[in-house]
Amino acid sequence: MKVFISYSTEDLSLIRQIADQIRPHAEVFYWEESRAPGEHAWNQIYNWIDQADTVVAVITDKTVSRGISVGQEIGRAKAKQKMILPLVASDVPVTELGCLHEVTHVRLDRNDQNAALQAITQRVAELAASIQAQNFWLFVLGLIVVAWVLSKGKR
């Protein structure tokens, strides 16, 4: 499973915590860690979003005040029909969530971040398990089809 994290660069320490929490369940991409020098920035970001199974959108007061990039990333994720998991700081009013207002989000209390991080990590783990199960059954189905085709060829 692949996860892209959308965030304000001023929240980098929080993003590193989130990435560390979900990394056992998914391959994680975010600008500060994943960027490749010499590549066009938006091409890289859109590629990560396009490949991602899930986008974690971290919305804090810093995001709201300078959220054009995060808004573009969320727009791309929505256009590509990606699962979006918003993590919203408790001081951000729902009226500031824009296109995420209808998406169920996890509230992040800066004094107790563990509950929010655990909720996001649990959801990512559930999604990863679901994808793994789907892949297993697709593999089994593929084996059945191959066996059937081979059995037809022997007649």
Cα–Cα distance, 21 to 132 (Å, whole number): 19
Q: What percent of the chain has pLDDT over 70?
A: 97
Tens digit of pLDDT for each residue in 2-37? 999 999 888 999 999 999 999 999 999 998 888 777
Cα–Cα distance, 118 to 53 (Å, whole number): 19
The label of the residue with tokens 């010499």 reads 38
pLDDT of residue 54: 95
Q: Which two tokens stand for residue 154?
A: 């022997």
Q: Is 45 left (phi over 0), alpha (psi -120 to 50) or beta?
A: alpha
Q: Which two tokens stand for residue 86?
A: 């918003």
Q: Return the DSSP state at 62.
A: H
pLDDT of residue 67: 67
Q: How sure is the predictor about 96, in pLDDT bands with cuts at 50, 70 and 90?
A: confident
